[in-house]
Amino acid sequence: MSETVDGMSYHVPDDLRAVRAFVTERALALGLPEARLDVLTLAVSELTTNTLQHTSGGGHIRVWVEDGRLVCDVVDQGSGRPFGRAMPSAEAIRGRGLAIVERVCDSVYTTAVPGGTLVRICLNL
């Protein structure tokens, strides 16, 4: 019997290429249209980069399908994420990542988990 791996951990910036490849392969295998891959990759890149810039210990990413949606969880040791923010001004040097994630995904949820925070992004299939 073969087992499908639905998640992976990441710890350093060099891991982000592997994270993007993993998410792309899983998403295609689970039925996400190729036209939506860039949206997923952008959102995952923003979330995992935030993990590495603002927390220690890296994070874990998991991808699966539920109720007609591709679901992707990013869990790290960070504190809660301030979703629902306005897009920072064009002159702002930082701070667009989470605002971008909210705008490109069909839904975004966040919750505290033991030892950190889980951010769940969903894309309709």
Most confident of 4-8, 93-97, 99-103: 99-103
Q: Give pLDDT, residue 56.
A: 84
Question: What's the pTM?
Answer: 0.86
Q: How far apart are CA 37 and CA 3, in angstroms?
A: 24
d(CA 50, CA 96): 11
Instruction: Write the DSSP string, the chain.
Output: ------EEEE-SGGGHHHHHHHHHHHHHHTT--GGGHHHHHHHHHHHHHHHHHH-SS-EEEEEEEETTEEEEEEEES------SPPPPPTT-SS--HHHHHHHHSSEEEEEEETTEEEEEEEEE-
Per-residue pLDDT for 2 more than 50?
Answer: no
